[in-house]
Structure 1
Amino acid sequence: MFKHIFLSLNGYKVSYLRNDVISGIGVAALTIPVAMGYAQVAGLPPIYGLYASFLPVIAYVIFASSPQLIFGIDATASAITGSIILGTAGLTAGSKEAIALAPVLAFFCAIFLILFSILKLGRFAKYISAPVLSGFISGLSVSIIMGQIPKIMGLKESGDSFFSSLGIIFGQFFQSNWLSLAMGVVTIIIVISCKKLIPKVPMSLVVLILGTMAAYFFKLDQYN
């Protein structure tokens, strides 16, 4: 079995299992909500982020040869997919058309990546200067943050670019769901503060659990 598939498990010891399970639960608890958020960034329903957070990982375990793999839903790919679906194609986020277009984009991206690998075009990456790459990542981060703020405010509409999100934030501020906004602001303050005060505590995970419990026990869905 380890000659062709499950190569990453070759030589695996039972003694690793306990720590791997604990690590896996912690990573999954943070990765799945993040992936569902990035699905919305890409213009898709959150459930597709759930699929993307574990199905590719299973494929990697089966077909990859390295026991050390870093995999996660990529913010860059999500933002670019969203800009194509919502901006270039002009589709509505979460619509049937958007859902149909996303796998087509993924398929052709895979084709191009295979071609890049065959032609060894990765060598051209070294010609991209550090300031250009840093500026791209910083701009992308700001764009994603701005796109998520309307969701924290509880607004149904969110922009497909920095300026459209900015217009929604200021134009519809007084239409915010104040409970959602308050929870979002408190969560951000807690996470940022605790990273400095108690850095060893995974506060993002703690806040995620507390938020989930609050939503369940206090029936927060009735407040939209």
Structure 2
Amino acid sequence: MGERIIGVLGGMGPLAGADFLARLTLATPASRDQDHVRAVLWSDPTVPDRTEAALGGGPSPLPAMLAGLRVLERAGAGCLAIPCNTAHLWAEKIAAATALRLLHIVDAAAEALAARGIRGGTVGLMGTEATLRLGLYQERLSRRGHACLFPDDDEMRRLVTPAIARVKANDLAGATGPLLAVARRLAERGAAAVVLGCTEIPLALRGPEAAGSGLVLIDTIDALARAALAWARGG
């Protein structure tokens, strides 16, 4: 499969990083082990909480992320994928600290929207409070003609934030109902698709209930995995 090695800066949360490798494997056209691409996962769940750092003055996650980056560099990685949306609030500083190509999760999500035929227009966005409040998605999507709808404060407090915490506690079933309810509300308000802009959220929305909802849900783990696969295959 060539010499390109995907570096995965994971652990934020641990299940999202592990799921990224699973989605990468499932996205690869292969009939045998040797047809798959090479990847190295650094999973560090001790990285300080990204939302607390961005909004609450908690310790910065950047030093721990840069330490993981050095591990991936030594392992021979040629690109960097970070299966954590909120961690991308530090994307510019990470990119400035390495020669590796950073595959930005928002750009991957935008490509996934285009692949579904959604080029411009209003999309819903679900994510952590930090991701939404600090504009991680808004500027990059606006360049492609998208406007973003968000959950309101009550929906964040009662539904989205507790559901993300449930996923981190491995309670995927308990997170599905609240997250799907918010996605439906965003669609009712005019969103042509809903971007699952926290890598915990897709983990709870892959079951039959979400599949049968009729909603266009953009899985950012899948989107990033496909961007990494394209890079590994020479894109």
Q: TM-score range by the shorter chain?
A: under 0.3
In terms of Rg, which structure is larger?
Answer: 1
Judging by fraction of residues, say which structure has more helix: 1
What is the TM-score of this pair, normalised by structure 2?
A: 0.25
Structure with the bigger RCO (C-alpha within 8 Å, sep 6+) is 2
